[in-house]
């Protein structure tokens, strides 16, 4: 009997180990809600990360066939990768394929998900990111840990539309943290991915958490952010599903 | 006709001037909601404020007849004035009279009010504060502008119960900022006024705004914070009205 109990314990330990060390992003459903486990994508400076993002160098950058062409189509407008550690530049229409292929970022579907960012203790700068497909568009949820003042890390969470600022006005999003009888909610219109994340942070147009607040809402070093995206009343958008 | 138009304009200007420069805290009702205009109470270091709070010095403090008596009744527990600029210490049961008499802070009634903090541009440290009576208890809403890192002012808003931590668990409160299609909401249980504001800020157990976020939600240098206080489901509290 003791042998079976020990075997069962060992299997549980293995499952627990696998859960915490799997490098890929994972999506599962709990109580009807889609939960996406998001590992951090770190800056090269921090080195030796299991989740290291391949960062293209400047010679690769100049080979981007879509860069710097003077065109008017919004889809052909040049933008940068929202990841802090990546210097990629390209057109709006190829940013999703860049994120999914180069950074192996999953595309999730549905208007409500839970974004579970792991390893919140990692030193800044570091990004957590997912691509989200709903209401006929692609959205990016970017969570960045950054030290605007040295020794004072903060977390900045924002939703960005892969589209223009005018298109972004047709949507609203809500980010919600909930733990131990505390709830913090941020509701806004998404920003266009054509605005860089730095400018969104400088504007304060995002959910901002001091390290102490992030700790209050974290559980075992992971932070769960509930996300809801809706079409604004100003414009009726055909839902995808 | 032109003369009358000019006279009317001058009267409007005077009213506008009086609204912005009146030193007393004002309470008025708009669309069924109680709005309390709260002027800042500044630190002595900032000097020459129209809203300067009389700050007692250390000799006054030692004359407080209720200080430092070893007693067990929570109402006779010693606490400090929540204002940054005031060194007063006394028992819980007299803190409301200290705030209303020494700092001429109004006591408002009702579970829902709008806290309108003026002159947000003033240099830190500075406090905005109201006393709020509802559900059979007194609460304090403290908004503090402080530089935890020099040159990086932040705003910290918290609700404190004039009571013990155990009593505070019987309530919930919500603070809400709402402007230009953005909404930021903080919901929590109040902290006891026996915890000092500094420890609440250090714990991150409050609504925290960077200067840029405060600017996004401000209108003409004033920040409106919607406040709702409710009895928690854990304990049925007899409403005051």
Question: Quick one: pLDDT band at residue A83, thresholds 50, 70, 90?
Answer: confident
pLDDT value at residue B160: 95
pLDDT value at residue A59: 36
Q: CA B81, CA B90: separation in Å to the nearest integer?
A: 8
pLDDT value at residue A74: 66
Min distance A210 CA to chain B CA atoms (Å): 7
How much of chain A exceeds pLDDT 90, in percent?
A: 46
Min distance B160 CA to chain A CA atoms (Å): 15
Residue at B114 is within a domain: yes
| Average pLDDT over every residue of B12-37 | 53
Cross-chain Cβ contact B204/A186 below 8 Å: no
Angstrom distances, CA of residue A192 to CA of A96, A146, A196, B49:
14, 21, 8, 43
Chain B positions in Cβ-Cβ contact with residue A203 (cut-off 8 Å)? 212, 216
Residue among A148, A152, A208 minimizing CB distance to B213? A208
pLDDT value at residue A40: 79
Residue at A13 is within a domain: no
CB A83 within 8 A of CB A143: no
Mind listing the pLDDT tens digit for each residue in B120-134? 999 999 999 999 899
Q: Is B21's pLDDT higher than 70? A: no
pLDDT value at residue A10: 52
Residue among A154, A189, A205 minimizing CB distance to B216? A205
What is the maximal distance between C-alpha atoms in chain A? 74
Residue at B19 is within a domain: no
Residue A58: count other Cβ atoms within 10 Å of its Cβ: 8
pLDDT value at residue A159: 96
Size of interface A-B (CB pairs under 8 A): 77
Question: Quick one: pLDDT band at residue A149, thresholds 50, 70, 90?
Answer: confident
| Average pLDDT over every residue of B27-42 | 68
How much of chain B exceeds pLDDT 90, in percent?
A: 46
Q: Is A166's pLDDT higher than 90? A: yes
Residue at A67 is within a domain: yes
Residue at B67 is within a domain: yes
CB B192 within 8 A of CB B161: yes
Residue A106: HSE in the Cβ half-sphere, 13 Å Cα cutoff: 15
Q: Is A37's pLDDT higher than 70? A: yes
Residue at B14 is within a domain: no
Report the complex ipTM: 0.75
Chain A positions in Cβ-Cβ contact with residue B209 (cut-off 8 Å)? 208
Q: Which residue has the higher pLDDT, B60 or A172?
A: A172
Please list the residues that pair with B56 across neighbouring strands: none
Chain B positions in Cβ-Cβ contact with residue A184 (cut-off 8 Å)? 185-187, 207
Q: CA A84, CA A89: separation in Å to the nearest integer?
A: 12
Cross-chain Cβ contact B212/A202 below 8 Å: yes
Mind listing the pLDDT tens digit for each residue in B164-191? 999 999 999 999 999 999 999 999 999 9
Residue at B3 is within a domain: no
> B211 and chain A: CB distance < 8 Å anywhere?
yes
Q: Is A193's pLDDT higher than 80? A: yes
Min distance A23 CA to chain B CA atoms (Å): 31
Residue B239 parent element (H or E): none
Min distance B153 CA to chain A CA atoms (Å): 11
> A185 and chain B: CB distance < 8 Å anywhere?
yes
Min distance A186 CA to chain B CA atoms (Å): 5
CB A91 within 8 A of CB A45: no
pLDDT value at residue B49: 31
| Average pLDDT over every residue of B45-63 | 33
* Domain count across chain B: 1
> A66 and chain B: CB distance < 8 Å anywhere?
no
pLDDT value at residue B44: 39
Residues with Cβ within 8 Å of A96's Cβ and at least 6 positions away in sequence, in order, are A107, A131, A138, A162
| Average pLDDT over every residue of A213-237 | 87
pLDDT value at residue A65: 33
Residue among B182, B189, B215 minimizing CB distance to A188? B182
Q: CA B231, CA B186: separation in Å to the nearest integer?
A: 16
> A19 and chain B: CB distance < 8 Å anywhere?
no
| Average pLDDT over every residue of B45-59 | 32
Q: Is B79's pLDDT higher than 60? A: yes
Q: Which residue has the higher pLDDT, B34 or A205?
A: A205
Q: Tell me which residues of chain A, numbers 189 to 208, contact chain B at a CB-CB cutoff of 8 Å.
A: 189, 202-205, 207-208
- Determine phi and psi for B117, rounding to 5 degrees: -85, 125
| Average pLDDT over every residue of B189-203 | 92
Cross-chain Cβ contact B208/A213 below 8 Å: yes
Residue at A1 is within a domain: no
Q: CA A104, CA B91: separation in Å to the nearest integer?
A: 60
Q: Is A136's pLDDT higher than 90? A: yes
> A102 and chain B: CB distance < 8 Å anywhere?
no
> A165 and chain B: CB distance < 8 Å anywhere?
no
Residues with Cβ within 8 Å of B75's Cβ and at least 6 positions away in sequence, in order, are B91, B92, B93
Average pLDDT over chain B, rounded to an integer: 77
- Of the candidates A200, A194, A197, A115, the one whose C-alpha atom is nearest the C-alpha of residue A162 is A194
CATH number, residue A204: 2.60.210.10
Domain that holds residue A108: 25-231
Structure tokens at B154: 């932040």
Cross-chain Cβ contact A216/B208 below 8 Å: no
Cross-chain Cβ contact A210/B208 below 8 Å: yes
| Average pLDDT over every residue of A12-17 | 45
Cross-chain Cβ contact B181/A172 below 8 Å: yes
Min distance B80 CA to chain A CA atoms (Å): 24
Q: Is B91's pLDDT higher than 50? A: yes
Question: Quick one: pLDDT band at residue B46, thresholds 50, 70, 90?
Answer: very low
| Average pLDDT over every residue of A27-39 | 68
Structure tokens at A50: 């299991």
> A27 and chain B: CB distance < 8 Å anywhere?
no
Cross-chain Cβ contact B208/A203 below 8 Å: no
| Average pLDDT over every residue of A163-169 | 94
């Amino acid at each position: 009997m003791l042998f079976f109990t020990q075997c069962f314990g060992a299997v549980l330990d293995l499952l627990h180990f696998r859960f915490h060390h799997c490098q890929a992003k994972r999506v599962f459903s709990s109580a009807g809600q889609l939960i996406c486990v998001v590992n951090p994508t770190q800056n090269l400076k921090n080195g030796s990360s299991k989740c290291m993002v391949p960062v293209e160098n400047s010679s690769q950058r100049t080979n981007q066939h879509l860069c710097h062409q003077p065109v008017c189509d919004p889809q052909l407008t040049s933008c940068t990768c929202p990841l802090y550690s990546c210097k990629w530049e390209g057109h709006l229409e190829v940013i999703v394929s860049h994120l999914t292929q180069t950074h192996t970022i999953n595309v999730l579907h549905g208007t409500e998900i839970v974004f579970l960012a792991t390893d919140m203790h990692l030193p800044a700068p570091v990004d957590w990111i997912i691509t989200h497909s709903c209401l006929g568009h692609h959205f990016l949820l970017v969570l960045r840990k950054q030290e605007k003042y040295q020794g004072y890390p903060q977390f900045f969470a924002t939703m960005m539309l892969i589209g223009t600022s005018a298109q972004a006005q047709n949507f609203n999003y809500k980010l919600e943290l909930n733990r131990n009888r505390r709830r913090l909610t941020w509701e806004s219109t998404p920003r266009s991915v054509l605005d860089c994340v730095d400018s969104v942070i400088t504007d304060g147009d995002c959910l901002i958490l001091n390290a102490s607040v992030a700790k209050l809402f974290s559980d075992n070093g992971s932070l769960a952010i509930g996300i809801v995206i809706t079409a604004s009343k100003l414009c009726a958008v055909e839902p995808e599903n």
